[in-house]
Structure 1
Amino acid sequence: MVSGQTTKQVLLLNTIRTALDQGDLLLYAQPIRNKEGEGYDEILARLKYDGGIMTPDKFLPLIAQFNLSARF
């Protein structure tokens, strides 16, 4: 039998995959100017899903665990 925690994790993983497939990863960056030119420092990442926003503490562990970082 599948535990409730496993079911929740699978549903969350499917939500993350769908959001990544649809390009719903939101990255906000701070422009940084230095001697070498202009660069950016990422300051915020969010994942849009079903009209809501998912914070990194929810989606980054699953992205790492299931090697989904290759998608972006």
Structure 2
Amino acid sequence: MYLNDEWEVYARYVDRDTNTGDDVLSIGLNNYWAGQNARWTTEITWDDTVLNTDTTVISSQLQFYF
């Protein structure tokens, strides 16, 4: 969902196995520069697909288009 020309919020949900509740949820934010020629993304992901272990990952990246 675009908030304006520079900011975008997104979410992603994956139900990997409906019988065991193996789910992955990601929520992120994109910031665009120079139109969409450069992008900064930050995301948090909760992953419970590994048996008896939940994983939380926070990631950030810069991407440039040439």
TM-score range with shorter-chain normalisation? under 0.3
More strand by share: 2
More helix by share: 1
State TM-score, norm by structure 1. Answer: 0.27
